Amino acid sequence: MDKENLLGFIEIFNKHGMLFEDKEIILLMKDHFESAFSTYELPQLLQAYKLLSHCFYRDYSTLKLIEDAVKIRSSEPDQLRTVSVQNLRDLIEGLKLHLHYNKRLTNTLKRLVKETNLIDYDRRLFIQYVTYLGDFNLKTDPVLKAKLNDALNVHRATLTNQDIIQLKLYGQEIFPADILQGLTLKEQASDFSLDSKEKLALIDPGNKLNPDQSLEAFKTIDLDCNVLDVIEGMLKERGIPYSTREIAANGTIRAAFVAELPKGRTIIDVIDQQHGYFVSEEGEKRLRLKGRVADEVARKSGYPGGYRVVSLVEMDFCGDEQAFLNEVIFDEKPSKANIRSQSL
């Protein structure tokens, strides 16, 4: 099978949610890439990185090969001209799926953003990149900052309410404060998605969360898995006082639990389809940006233990759910013997 058909085949599997636990597909990809990686063009490498990142059975030797090949290909001027908006979206999507910050590919992404005008062509790519920078707490140099400000001017007229809220939250270290303040919402907050309402409540305490709407998400989680029952059982087993399913911090943060942990009263949330943490270049595990802001708001609102979040996506990738929950909620580092390898 040639690489175009192979990538297309795996892409279909991914879109239908069939890739995550399919070890055979990843073995096929591993074997093909090891024998033919030198023939992959830069766009195909970025797509391959995204697809491999979506699978539980990630093969890190193949990921390393892709990184090396990306470095080589991205240094070739003719390859830069082949990169599309979708290719950069693929790269960002792949990077965000990993717990650990990837310096090499992040630097490649930054160079591709600087040397192309692709963030000017696509509003979603622009928002996606700003979000990635914020989530991983990345600094912007003057050239990149100017590029992003130019892109904001290009897209200003077509920004949706969701885009504006995203920029106000994730763009505070990139864009001048007066520029962000000048971005005005076009509808009432009651018309926004739940995710946008939660972000708006964090940056504008005047916008309180609606308890009925915000807590509805827990019903969906209950239908999909028993993680809320598991966490409640862990709190009971340790004799930790707690309350459950409330809007905390003066109506600004959704809480699956508010627990009296050793560090004080702590908000614990459970989220789906989003990541909660990342590991920095220095090896420090940190909340992604929405969580960092929620943690700051929580501490200022009388929750000395701050904010913690259980991400169902991260739990799927962890291999040992009990160890994952112990670390996120109780700061208990998993022993190496209890960590199941995700690699092939």
For residue 109, what pLDDT is reported?
97
Asked if residues 60 and 19 have their Cβ atoms less than 8 Å apart, the reply is no
Residues lower than pLDDT 70 in the chain: 1, 188-191, 335-344
Q: Report pLDDT digits (tens) over 171-189.
A: 999 999 999 999 999 876 6
Asked if residues 152 and 179 have their Cβ atoms less than 8 Å apart, the reply is yes
Number of neighbours of residue 300 by Cβ within 10 angstroms: 11
Asked if residues 305 and 263 have their Cβ atoms less than 8 Å apart, the reply is yes
Angle at 323 between CA 319 and CA 328, to 5 degrees: 110
Q: Report pLDDT digits (tens) over 128-159.
A: 999 999 999 999 999 999 999 999 999 999 99
For residue 121, what pLDDT is reported?
97
Asked if residues 14 and 42 have their Cβ atoms less than 8 Å apart, the reply is no
pTM of the predicted model as reported, rounded to 2 decimal places = 0.92
Cβ burial, residue 310 (10 Å; 0-12/13-18/19+): buried
Beta bridge partners of 285: 279
> In angstroms, how far is CA 335 from the centroid of its own chain?
25
For residue 344, what pLDDT is reported?
52
Q: What is the largest CA-CA distance in the chain?
A: 63
Compute CA distances 313 → 62, 271, 319, whole Å: 22, 8, 11
Contacts of 211 (CB under 8 A, 6+ apart): 246, 247
Contacts of 29 (CB under 8 A, 6+ apart): 6, 10, 48, 51, 52, 62
Asked if residues 174 and 133 have their Cβ atoms less than 8 Å apart, the reply is yes
For residue 252, what pLDDT is reported?
95
